[in-house]
Amino acid sequence: ILHQLANLMRRKFGGKLNISSKAFAMDCRKKLSTEITDFRQHIRELKMERKVLYPRLCEPVVTDVLPALRQQHQDLFIYTSQLVEAIKLHSPMQDQGTIDRVISFLDDCAELLHFGDLSILDIPFLCMDVLGPLMAPDNFPCHLMGKLDGKVKKADISYVIRQFQSLHKKSFSVQIDTIIRLLESFELTFLVEGTDDTYMFPSHLPFKKVADMWKRDDRNKVYVGRRVKCSSETSLISPGAFSLFQCRACVRLHRQAQLWENGIIIRRAKTVRSHVQCLVIMAIPLGAVDIVCH
């Protein structure tokens, strides 16, 4: 089955997709396991085999400037002004506008992450060792006591970061608020309305919804539904994509909402004439999303 799927992907993407002939079985909760170490090494080998061609102005930054900065700075974050000065020293670029465009291009290529006045040079470390642990409920003290509602205190986020920071040589000189802004910019969490220190993490939500969340209401005479489905039976909707949708819906619609792992109910503020609700559920298996409004 895997062989057939790989051939299908090769035909669809042609030479633009490099598919490995190896398969790995890993437990993503054990980051230091032999299997994950082997997987990381294999990814590096694949990257070396398929050399990325950068524009002429970007090439010295990728090959000389960024490796030198990663060697010099043990901190996960550096100020973008430091990056700009390093580029000026190692390359002929002096025009600030050109440097800004180079940094923006390398940000798009994931060679670095440009975030306001800060830059992150080690994106794999950020994802796997800073943001990754925050996505796992088991790492939070409140969940060890059986609480599982997706809501996390700012102090608990700080606790998890300190716990994992002690395991690595890299330090975080920035405040916890910067990490939270990163999480919000990636739509991994959002501030719970009416609080100033409680955040909702869709990745921490329980699987089942409360029984009376969605029930018949005689005031609602019209029900409208639609299923958004993958066009191919071999395609799936990423579970992570649904978490992003939950965050975006709550932040942008500014509506009351009830959430669980694979669903969300959005309510319009009740008025005399309006009792509108919308139910969105990720179908199992992950090939479709069902939307119902009444």
pLDDT digits (tens, 9 = 90+) for 168-186: 656 666 678 888 999 998 8
- In whole angstroms, give the CA distance from residue 260 to residue 202: 7
Q: Which residue has the higher pLDDT, 200 or 50?
A: 200
Q: What is the pLDDT of residue 45?
A: 80
Q: Is the pLDDT of residue 150 over 80?
A: yes
In terms of Cα–Cα distance, which of 191, 192, 189 is closest to 201? 189
Q: State phi, psi for 278 to the nearest 5 degrees.
A: -130, 130
265 in Cβ contact with 252 (< 8 Å): no
Model confidence at 228: pLDDT above 70: yes
Higher pLDDT, 92 or 282: 282
Separation CA 222–CA 116 (nearest Å):
46
Q: What confidence tier does 246 reach under pLDDT thresholds 50, 70, 90?
A: confident
Of all residues in the chain, what percent carry a pLDDT higher than 70?
Answer: 77
**Integer distance in angstroms from the first to the last C-alpha of the chain?**
41
Averaged pLDDT score across all residues of the chain: 79
Q: Is the pTM of this model over 0.75?
A: no
Tokens of 232: 């191919």
Tens digit of pLDDT for each residue in 112-136?
999 888 898 888 888 878 888 888 8
Residue type, 62: V
